[in-house]
Structure 1
Amino acid sequence: MSPRRFRVIAVQPQWHAADFTSARAFRAWLRRQFEAARPEMSRDRPTLVVLTELNGLPLVLRGGGWALGLRTLERVAMALFLARLPRTLPVLLRERVSPVRALQLADSDANTRLYLHTCRDLAREYGVYVCCGSAPTPRYRLQDGRLRREPGVLTNQSVILDPDGALVGTADKVYLTPDEETGGVDLSAGVLEALRVFPTPVGDLGVAISLDAFRPDVIGALDAQGCTVLLQPDANGASWTALEGLAPDPANRRDQPLAWLESSWAVTARGGQIRYAVNPMVVGNLLDLTFDGQSAITGPADEAPALRSYVMTPPRPGFLALAPWVEDGPPEHLRSLGQHLAAHSGHPRENAYHTAVLHADLTLPAVSRPLPERTPHEHALQALLADAVLPTRRVPWGLLGLGALVYAWWRKR
């Protein structure tokens, strides 16, 4: 059998809250990413385009442009919860979830449809495989020919599509950051044992969303299943040149670029089963939140064109492609610049991040394994991609009288 020769593309976009206030704006934002990547799409081999983590999260703002003037995500979320009380309150009471999860679940059917249909249409139009990044996604099942949502569940989920827009597979993020847990956007953690590898013409794909790529048990599970191309969609919620510190040792603070060397680059540098990794990172300020980083494609040292590395770290082998940061220079200057770029800094360079499109041509042995069997949730998502009708729910208008109680509870929280 002939070896697999293919191209991978990592897109580093910038987001703004206004990109998510309407379906039209969201579609245009995603399309701009594919248009930026178009010159790098191969004409003679399959292409995989990898998008960034949580690029569907801000769809909670859809129809809420009027609230952006409140300036912080917490205030905007509270305003949207109250404005959408006929939808949000029943979810909160029936499914016993927090207000922020209820806000997301209340419109999750429509937003999931918009998100996946937009990615499906772009995969078809551009003729590429797509790792859609990730989005807060409910757990679905098919029942009597219709989609049903599992109450209360909302994972950080990545979806892979083929060039026909059909589902290849899904993966949930197992290790959530504090901003994704209770007190943040309140997502459900995935299950390590549910992670699978998907053999395709563009690699044996395993997904480790952001923090998962730092965890040996996640990498070990994917490696054991034959992963050869690791996909690490990322949304680093901090200035790239700030100090990083996460559990289990938050006191062990170090420069974020140095910490990032322990994810995709370390996985491919060790020379194991996972030969390549693709790590796109979103940049930009979303209300009061800051996202920054350097996207990268890593692989064997002998395939890298030169020694290089993230800012504030020494050059090294293994970076097949690397997005530059805004500037290079002494660490103290870069730390100061990162603060200037951050949300609500008031500096003239606020939100002046660097976008990029990276690509690399990869080669792997021919694939002989079939795709893993689809889960019930994946069967449901494929039905959604095939335009199955999502269920509609009656609005219990009598519950509106409880709105004042919810508002008071939220303020106390």
Structure 2
Amino acid sequence: MRLRRSGIAWAGVMALAGMGLGGCSSSEAPAGGEALLPPDIERPSADTCAALRPARWAAASGHGASGAALRVVAMQYKQEIRHVVDYAAFRTKMRCLMEEHAVPQMRAGLPMLVVFNEDAGLMTLATGTRGAPVRVLAGSPLGAPVGDSLPLGMLGALALLNVSYLPQILAYRARFPGVDARKQALLAATDTFVRAFSQTFSDIARDYRVYVVASNNQARYAASRDPLDLALFKDPDLGAVDEVYVATDARVTNTTYLWGPDEVDANAPSGEKNLLFRNEKVPLTDIETTVLGLDAGPSTGAAALANAAGYPLAGFRLGFATSLPAFQWGYDFGAAPPAGFAPCADVTVSYMPCMDTLGVDVVVQAEANPGRWATYQAGGWQPLEWMASTWRTVADPEVGFRYNITAHLVGNLLDLPFDGQTAITKRGGSAAPRHYVGNLEFEPGTDVAWYLAFQGDKREFVQLAPWVSDDAPRAQLAATAAALAPGSGDALENDYLETAVWADLVH
């Protein structure tokens, strides 16, 4: 049913020695959460961040609570090709998201978890000279030659990257014979991903003294100072570098990472010294398997349990369900689990009940939903179908999850639209009733019958980001989604909302 869900986002940027951060200032007088920041970190100025906002932007909305143990900020980032021109560009944009949406919410003595989107590093494939052909493609009609009906632009971009990264591809094919050609560009870009994605979010966690979640499609890596590796894997745009980052095997997984504010492993490579946990997505979507050739996380045995068990933080246990896994229950909502149900026997079938069995009480659902938001899919109206993850997490009586945090990527990438409404939900919530757009309706025969329980306003939505338009009849919403989509030619094309939501989690 989730055949289109994958997530292909982008994020990242690294701290290069001697490379300044345009518009940064650490001498401005602190106000609010700024007073809690270390005085010597790189901080983009307000003017710099304002210039990087998309046309449709809103400040974070949130919900405080007395007795809070953890404050969560879920980013709804709008991806744009201008943010990956070079390493500094994306580093600056990610820090602007922190400055505009997270820093104002900081409170003394209250730890903060900042959740960025699924695939938050993938777009950095278009960084620098090697990514320039993809940036040109993205800005031309050939980026979406038939609109969003087929990912021809995405396939074209991968072909261009196979040329740009050819020396690294050949080097890895020699090291790992038989590597899948569909993922070879992702493998070849390991050094780029580390400098762009891993170092950016690792540094944000350390500098801003927060916990950070972000996802990317990349291989595990090690730092190397071997002269041959330096010659093979160094970014040609960089001057002299002391080390490069080299994949340690051919597996490329959609991995969600959790970094903390303090170093935990001095011997780890750059970007992982403060890494607390990593989760490999399982199961994968059709796009991830057929187009990108990604490797799935473990589905059975001890490795699957360790992958799904998550990480303890502030008295909670965070579990990571990156898009499709959050829809894997093994039984319909409102029905009892089948006789002999063993939730952890195969997590591709019952990932969510397995996490519950392992003690997870906060589900982190980083999202990059490929496709229009206000549209119909195999299960009927997509926002109604989406309730099977974000709302069901905290409403299903067979599990005990306390919270769900879903941070959506938005914005067109070549011929793939990404859209959704970022949300934080709570079991037993008493917030003002809210709903995804179009969910006040139910269409028998179109919407899956057991989705009827998802229809209407729900108090479990502690916070819910608005969509690009107010709620309306589904036909009108679908027309708006079509106008937003790649190649529409409409004034609304790619005019998605960038914002964030936040909430306090209590025990």
TM-score norm. by structure 1 comes to 0.80
Q: Which residue of 1 aligns with 2:211?
A: 129
Residues 372 and 417 in structure 2, CA contact (< 8 A), matched pair in contact too: yes
* DSSP 3-state at the match of 1:30: helix
Question: Which amino acid letter does the alignment assign opposite residue 481 of structure 2?
Answer: G
Residues 276 and 297 in structure 1, CA contact (< 8 A), matched pair in contact too: yes
Q: Gaps spanning 5+ residues in structure 2: where?
A: 1-66, 138-142, 144-152, 227-242, 264-273, 330-349, 440-455
Give the Cα–Cα distance (whole angstroms) in 1 for the partners of residues 318 and 395 of structure 2: 18
Change in CA separation of 1:187 and 1:329 when aligned onto 2, cut-off 3 Å = same
Alignment of 1:55-94 (within 5 A): 55-63=120-128, 64-70=131-137, 71=143, 72-92=153-173, 94=176
* DSSP 3-state at the match of 1:277: strand
Matched, 1:345 2:488: yes
Give the Cα–Cα distance (whole angstroms) in 1 for the partners of residues 206 and 430 of structure 2: 31
Give the Cα–Cα distance (whole angstroms) in 1 for the partners of residues 80 and 167 of structure 2: 28
- The partner residue of 1:221 within 330, 348, 354 is 354
Give the Cα–Cα distance (whole angstroms) in 2 for the partners of residues 288 and 344 of structure 1: 8
- The partner residue of 1:169 within 262, 277, 285 is 277
Report how many aligned residue pairs link the two structures.
352
Q: Which residue of 1 aligns with 2:288?
A: 180
Residues 5 and 45 in structure 1, CA contact (< 8 A), matched pair in contact too: yes
Q: Which residue of 2 aligns with 1:288?
A: 415
- The partner residue of 1:44 within 84, 109, 116 is 109
Question: Which amino acid letter does the alignment assign opposite residue 114 of structure 2?
Answer: V
More helix by share: 1
Residues 68 and 287 in structure 1, CA contact (< 8 A), matched pair in contact too: no
Question: Which amino acid letter does the alignment assign opposite residue 6 of structure 1?
Answer: L
Residues 125 and 192 in structure 2, CA contact (< 8 A), matched pair in contact too: no
Question: Which amino acid letter does the alignment assign opposite residue 390 of structure 2?
Answer: S
- The partner residue of 2:425 within 298, 307, 326 is 298
Question: Which amino acid letter does the alignment assign opposite residue 310 of structure 2?
Answer: V
Matched, 1:329 2:489: no
Residues 326 and 351 in structure 2, CA contact (< 8 A), matched pair in contact too: yes
Q: Which residue of 1 aligns with 2:316?
A: 203
Question: Which amino acid letter does the alignment assign opposite residue 186 of structure 1?
Answer: G
- The partner residue of 2:87 within 6, 23, 42 is 23
Q: Which residue of 2 aligns with 1:308?
A: 434
Higher mean alpha-carbon deviation, 47-56 vs 117-126, is at 117-126
Change in CA separation of 1:143 and 1:17 when aligned onto 2, cut-off 3 Å = closer
Report the CA distance between 1:137 and its aligned residue. 2.2
Give the Cα–Cα distance (whole angstroms) in 1 for the partners of residues 400 and 285 of structure 2: 27
Q: Which residue of 1 aligns with 2:74?
A: 10
Give the Cα–Cα distance (whole angstroms) in 2 for the partners of residues 198 and 138 of structure 1: 21
Q: Gaps spanning 5+ residues in structure 1: where?
A: 246-252, 365-413
Q: Which residue of 1 aligns with 2:296?
A: 189
Residues 190 and 221 in structure 2, CA contact (< 8 A), matched pair in contact too: no
Give the Cα–Cα distance (whole angstroms) in 1 for the partners of residues 321 and 77 of structure 2: 20
Question: Which amino acid letter does the alignment assign opposite residue 258 of structure 2?
Answer: I
